[in-house]
Structure 1
């Protein structure tokens, strides 16, 4: 799966939109919250409600999943796009990240 394919998948979610908060870095947002960071070779997602849940990705894919810098303690992981993680699981990770972020939005901001 390519970055563009995964970004398109992210943007097909209800209320999702693309932003470029830093030059060259694209994120997918719902309302004003990021639910996916898209890099050339990886995607950053909210992989669990907490670090313990997110660590399951690292246990399952130690060479292709890692804790994201700065926000990893809150359950964010970076998942490699061209590694052992199947495309379907990458899409599932985006779905879960989107749902976790939407659940924290005020009801009037939810799509």
Structure 2
């Protein structure tokens, strides 16, 4: 799997849309909230996703994949991790992490903004 394929998976989700809030950095949102940080789909080797309600749950990824998972800069304390694509983390687990991030973000949206 590569970042472009992962972006396509993200955009297939109900209500998902692509945004570029920072030049050259693609994110995928549902409603007004980001659920996946892709970066440049042609070059990116990682995805940023919500991996739990806080650092404790997200740290499980770091323990399982110390070389391929890290706390996301600035928002890591809120349960966001950066997962390396093409490393030790199986593609299926990356897809599951993206799906869980989407579900987590959707569940926190006001009902009027949910797809």
| TM-score normalised according to structure 1 size | 0.98
- Counterpart CA distance in 2 for 1:74 and 1:5 is 26
Secondary structure of the residue aligned to 1:4 is helix
Q: Which residue does 1:106 correspond to in 2?
A: 110
Q: Are 1:41 and 2:14 matched, yes or no?
A: no
Once the two structures are superposed, the pairs formed by residues 1-111 of structure 1 within 5 Å of their partners are 1-39=1-39, 40-111=44-115
Q: Which runs of 5+ in 1 are unaligned?
A: none
Secondary structure of the residue aligned to 2:6 is helix
State the superposition RMSD in angstroms. Answer: 0.5
- Counterpart CA distance in 2 for 1:4 and 1:44 is 14
Aligned structure 1 segments of 4 or more residues deviating by more than 3 angstroms: none
| TM-score normalised according to structure 2 size | 0.95
Question: Displacement, 1:23?
Answer: 1.0
Residues 73-111 of structure 1, C-alpha deviations (whole Å, 9 max, x = no match): 000000000200001000000010001100110001001
- Counterpart CA distance in 1 for 2:55 and 2:14 is 27
**Would you say how many aligned residue pairs link Structure 1 and Structure 2?**
111
Question: Displacement, 1:15?
Answer: 0.2
Question: Displacement, 1:49?
Answer: 1.2
